[in-house]
Amino acid sequence: MYRTHTCGELRSSNVDQNVTLSGWVQRSRKMGGMTFIDLRDRYGITQLVFNQETDDAALCEKANKLGREFVIRATGEVKERFSKNKELPTGDIEIIVSSFDVLNSSEVPPFTIEDESDGGDDIRMKYRYLDLRRNAVRKNLELRHKMTIETRSFLDKLDFLEVETPMMIKSTPEGARDFVVPSRMNPGEFYALPQSPQMFKQLLMVSGFDRYFQIVKCFRDEDLRADRQPEFTQIDCEMSFVEQEDVLNTFEGLAKHLFKQLKGIDMKEPLPRMSWHDAMKYYGSDKPDTRFGMRFVELTDIAKGKEFAVFNSAEYIGAICAEGCASYTRKQLDALTDFVKRPQIGAKGMVYVRMEQDGTLKSSIDKFYTPEDLKSWADRCGAKPGDLLLILSGDTSKTQKALGELRLEMGSQLGLRDKNNFSCLWVVDFPLLEWDEESQRFFAMHHPFTAPKPEDIPLLDSHPGAVRANAYDMVINGVEVGGGSIRIHDSELQNRMFQILGFTEEKAQAQFGFLMNAFKYGAPPHGGLAFGLDRLVSLFAGLDSIRDCIAFPKNNSGRDVMNDAPSRIDDEQLEELFLTLKPLPVKK
């Protein structure tokens, strides 16, 4: 028998019991004639004690040879500790060891496996199996486990069926790039890994499954960021005979259930809804962080027409009012200007107006505007003495996006983005289509199966860009945690959509023919959504990167540094797949 208890289990009530524990040596300390060993397993840490004065000398000598991460089995008696450790659940007791054996030795680990590890990111990723022994990482995976269990139980009660869909599918590269897999049995042909089970879940609705969900891996060959991995997990859902309202209500219910079960947060009120248009207008983002206000105030009409050429030539002039920031120094303001001028943000400059404590207004453009002009701006922004207006100008959409970044930066600087504070909302009424300047064509903002709002269908020919979709995103703290839509279930409308997206009939048939055919046999009205599981877990756990809640993540170049994937394959493998490699581009 390896153990009678786990390393996180024993308490004062177990005193005088004879127990056996197995686990890893987290660390050993020698103090006087005593040796203390922290024995660790998934459940906790228990202190083992060897006393040279009272114990067998050979036993103590053997204990002194134990190194970090040795795996041992120890038997002994539970005793009340002389000096208790309030930090540990097992801190009231220790084990006076009578015998132990080494089950396995360990090389010295490349970093210390403790809550505050001395290992950098790269080394911890290379030895991820050791990193996973640390509490911090394991706790995130425990939370992830609970989230999937709670999701399954919630959806099961509502009659959702979990159905698996294939991982090797037809390549339909609309949206992101596909990862592809060559087929040996069909030389020259490729499968794609699914970007999502979108078409399959719609087919399941045609099949009458009514309510489907799946906790499923999805694959997208995109540039990576803190909240993106090449493979990630969705809670993917679809329902039949529903309107947008039904879908929103159902999944608002799931979100509330998860908050209650995992965070103990009771969200009684319905989630606020914001149109995409308002999200852009007031926050410059389709995923507004609504933990704080600082909404945009447009000044275009009152700030134009004076001597200031920058404003006069601008399509849009917008301000945010940063409360209590009039005391910002020149240096702080310069830093903010540098921030908005970063290439990824792209503003040309920033104008500020300070409202001093006595109500006087001072700005970076005093020579162009009278105090009355500035007062009209401050009034519109609702500024109080001590506040600071930050103003950007230029093309509407670019400037709103830049102002959105500035707003987030100010929110962070003012401590308004507390990770323990959750602000959820639905963003609704997305545009159906998005114009792409480069390719001079429309793209589906969500995906090509998203239904236009019925009342906007007449605009499809005249003003396609103005058509709104029955599409929605759930946003929490500025993170898009889920999104979906009501789908087109009519093959004619779907064909029209493909036309607008620039597909020839043959191309649409070749790529989506199976779905179009299925729609000929009675497709019910349907809709759904998918949550990003990794993002949800990260938010709940207060993580900065989704990597920290994935057991074996990839790095920012899409590499698994632990097993060194991707890697070359043998010539024989290439041969079997009828593939030859082009010479690699020379690295600069």
Q: Which residue is nearest to ligand ASP (CB)?
A: 196
> By CB under 6 A, what part of segment 489-528 binds ligand ASP?
528
Q: Which of 14, 22, 151, 198 binds ligand ASP (CB under 6 A)?
A: 198
In the complex with ligand ASP, the residue whose CB is nearer, 26 or 450, is 450
Spell out the alpha helix ranges (H) of 433-544.
459-462, 491-500, 505-518, 533-541
Alpha carbon distance 390, 413 (integer Å): 14
Among 203-211, 252-260, 343-351, 479-487, the segment contacting ligand ASP (CB under 6 A): 479-487
Enter the DSSP assignment of 65. T
User: Which has the closest alpha carbon to 276: 449, 440, 460, 485?
Assistant: 485
| Closest CB 540 distance from ligand ASP, rounded Å | 20
Q: Which of 483, 519, 534, 543 binds ligand ASP (CB under 6 A)?
A: 483
Q: Which of 196, 229, 240, 244 binds ligand ASP (CB under 6 A)?
A: 196
| Closest CB 386 distance from ligand ASP, rounded Å | 44
User: Which has the closest alpha carbon to 527: 460, 471, 453?
Assistant: 471
| Closest CB 42 distance from ligand ASP, rounded Å | 33
| Closest CB 476 distance from ligand ASP, rounded Å | 16
Classify burial at 586, counting beta carbons within 10 Å of its beta carbon; exposed 0-12, middle 13-18, buried 19 or more.
exposed
Among 31-39, 86-94, 436-444, 480-488, the segment contacting ligand ASP (CB under 6 A): 480-488
In the complex with ligand ASP, the residue whose CB is nearer, 50 or 430, is 430
Structure-token match 């200007």, residue found: 337
SS3 252: helix
In the complex with ligand ASP, the residue whose CB is nearer, 24 or 200, is 200
| Closest CB 485 distance from ligand ASP, rounded Å | 5
Q: Which of 474, 484, 498, 531 binds ligand ASP (CB under 6 A)?
A: 484
Query: Binding to ligand ASP by residue 529, rule CB under 6 A?
Result: yes
Among 272-280, 409-417, 478-486, 562-570, the segment contacting ligand ASP (CB under 6 A): 478-486
In the complex with ligand ASP, the residue whose CB is nearer, 93 or 529, is 529
Enter the DSSP assignment of 290. T
Size of site (CB under 6 A) for ligand ASP:
8
H or E stretch including 473? Answer: strand 471-476
Per DSSP, the residues of 296-321 read: -EE-HHHH-SSS-HHHHT-SEEEEEE
Alpha carbon distance 381, 294 (integer Å): 9
| Closest CB 341 distance from ligand ASP, rounded Å | 33
Go through the chain and tell me how many residues it has.
588
Spell out the alpha helix ranges (H) of 11-120.
57-64
346 CB-near residues (< 8 Å, 6+ apart) = 398, 401, 402
| Closest CB 514 distance from ligand ASP, rounded Å | 17
User: Which has the closest alpha carbon to 473: 499, 447, 494, 455?
Assistant: 447
Query: Binding to ligand ASP by residue 485, rule CB under 6 A?
Result: yes
Query: Binding to ligand ASP by residue 530, rule CB under 6 A?
Result: yes
| Closest CB 236 distance from ligand ASP, rounded Å | 6
Interface ranges with ligand ASP (CB under 6 A): 196, 198, 483-485, 528-530
